[in-house]
Structures are given as structure tokens and as C-alpha cells.
């Protein structure tokens, strides 16, 4: 059985904007907030939006470690978190995350039972955005590696094209060109995908933010607000 969890409060973000200022906020796994601890490990990371897509891990040996607001996942221990209900991104969306991976071929977000739903850092030069069954791969620009300690923003607009942005040395850079990436994106796990090879995440995570139904006219401003927040964590 798990020990009694301890709630961890947020440190105050120094900027004025918060994801919760937006009506399109779908899920928010907030830095140093909503964490339930089992000793020094994470048994739950609550959704800080109003939608309660809370992520949990009931198996003690598969709980990521926690320190100073940051979750550390070890892939060899099959550490991951999952929600009892999935969120479905069926049109425009914006996803931001701040991670520092120790391995390539590792999943940020996925689905617990459907292998074709995921955001995966595929290799040193490729990130894969995969709703439904289509692999859509984006090649890193010169000087970038998916293992950099970085903030990422993924944007899908109403023509079903996706653009991927990643920072390096304080500058947010679009990676590759925008590409067609249609289909419902169904996600309910952090740090793994379904299938025979789950590609467990290895490294640290600070925050994941998901917005749904973002109008094209608002997506660039939202992207920039997300980046300003993530880079300050």
C-alpha cells in the first residue's frame, strides 16, 4: 500500500500570464504544484486546469522521483503516470512542455492502450507527433538535439498542419517546416505509450500544458506566452 501522500505547493511564477487565464486550457501539469508524494516519489500529479485529468501511478516501483519541483523518470524502472480518462484533441491545439531527456526514443505524452497516439523524441534529430496512425516526423534545425534541456511548443492550426518549436540558448526556433498532421489526438499518459515497446521517458520533466480549440488568430500569442513561462521555470 502507498504511504500517506504529502501535498506540495507551487512556487510563484514571476510572470504575469498563467495558462489558467485562457478559456482553452485543457490540461495543466504544473511545476511544483498538485504533486502527491509517497516518500520522495510521485504517486500523483494533479491537473491544474478545471478538467481533472489527474495523472497517477499506484505501483511504487514505477513512481518517478521528485525534488525541487521537478519529476525525474527512470526508463529502466518503467516509470510513468496515467489518467483514468483521456483528453481528445480533435481540432486546433497547442501543447507546451519543459523537459531534459537523458535518452533518445523516449515518450513525453502517449496513450495507455493505443500505440498510435504519442509525442516521442525519436532520435537525436527527430521529434514524432503521431495522432491516429500517421507518423509525422520533424527534423531538428542545426545545433539542436532532442536531448537538450529545452522548452517545446507544438501548434496545430485549423488546416490540420502542425508546427514544432524548441528553444536553444534562450531563443525559440521552429524545427523543420509545418506539416500535415490530421486526426484525433487521444492522450492519457505521461512518460510512456502503449504497445510492445513503450519507450518510457528517461530524464526530468518540469511542466506540461495542453490547450484545445485555440483559434488560429490566437495561437502565436499563446505560443509565445507558453514559452516565456516555461523558460522561466
Q: What is the CATH number of the domain that holds 90?
A: 2.60.120.200
pLDDT on residue 125: 98
| 15 — pLDDT class (breaks 50, 70, 90) | low
pLDDT of residue 228: 95
Our count of domains for the chain comes to 1
Domain annotation covers residue 8? no
CA pair distance 104, 213, nearest whole angstrom: 30
Q: What is the mean pLDDT of the chain?
A: 93
**62 falls within a domain:** no
- Asked whether residue 38 is assigned to any structural domain, the reply reads no
Domain ranges, residue 141: 82-231
Residue 196, in any domain of the structure: yes
Rounded to whole angstroms, how far apart are CA atoms 68 and 63? 16
**66 within a domain of the structure (yes/no):** no
- With respect to residue 135, please indicate whether it lies within any of the assigned structural domains: yes
* pTM score, whole prediction: 0.93
Q: Is 168 part of a structural domain of the chain?
A: yes
Instruction: Give the residue with greater pLDDT, 216 vs 4.
Output: 216
Length of the chain: 233
Lowest mean pLDDT among 8-22, 29-43, 67-81, 95-109: 8-22
pLDDT digits (tens, 9 = 90+) for 148-191: 999 999 999 999 999 999 999 999 999 999 999 999 999 999 99
CA dist., res. 82 & res. 84, Å (int):
7
Considering only CA atoms, which of 89, 10, 102 is closest in space to residue 51? Answer: 89
Q: 16 falls in which pLDDT band (50, 70, 90)?
A: confident
The answer as to whether 221 is a domain residue is yes
Amino acid at each position: 500500500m502507498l504511504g500517506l501522500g504529502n501535498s506540495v505547493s507551487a512556487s510563484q511564477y514571476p510572470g504575469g500570464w498563467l495558462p489558467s487565464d485562457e478559456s482553452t486550457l485543457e490540461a495543466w501539469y504544473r511545476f511544483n504544484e498538485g504533486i502527491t508524494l509517497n516518500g520522495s516519489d510521485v504517486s500523483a500529479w494533479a491537473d491544474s486546469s478545471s478538467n481533472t485529468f489527474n495523472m497517477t501511478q499506484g505501483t511504487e516501483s514505477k513512481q518517478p522521483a521528485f525534488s525541487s519541483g521537478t519529476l525525474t523518470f527512470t526508463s529502466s524502472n518503467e516509470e510513468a503516470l496515467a489518467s483514468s480518462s483521456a483528453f481528445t484533441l480533435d481540432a486546433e491545439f497547442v501543447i507546451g512542455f519543459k523537459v531534459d531527456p537523458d535518452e533518445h526514443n523516449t515518450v513525453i505524452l502517449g496513450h495507455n492502450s493505443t500505440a498510435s497516439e504519442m509525442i516521442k523524441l525519436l532520435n537525436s534529430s527527430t521529434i514524432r507527433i503521431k495522432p491516429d496512425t500517421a507518423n509525422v516526423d520533424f527534423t531538428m534545425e542545426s545545433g539542436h538535439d532532442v536531448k537538450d534541456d529545452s522548452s517545446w511548443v507544438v501548434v496545430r492550426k485549423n488546416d490540420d498542419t502542425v508546427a514544432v518549436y524548441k528553444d536553444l540558448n534562450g531563443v525559440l526556433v521552429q524545427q523543420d517546416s509545418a506539416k500535415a498532421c490530421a486526426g484525433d489526438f487521444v492522450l492519457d499518459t505521461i512518460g510512456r505509450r502503449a504497445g510492445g515497446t513503450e519507450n518510457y521517458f528517461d530524464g526530468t520533466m518540469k511542466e506540461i500544458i495542453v490547450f484545445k480549440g485555440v483559434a488560429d488568430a490566437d495561437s502565436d500569442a499563446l505560443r509565445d506566452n507558453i514559452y516565456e513561462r516555461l523558460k522561466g521555470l
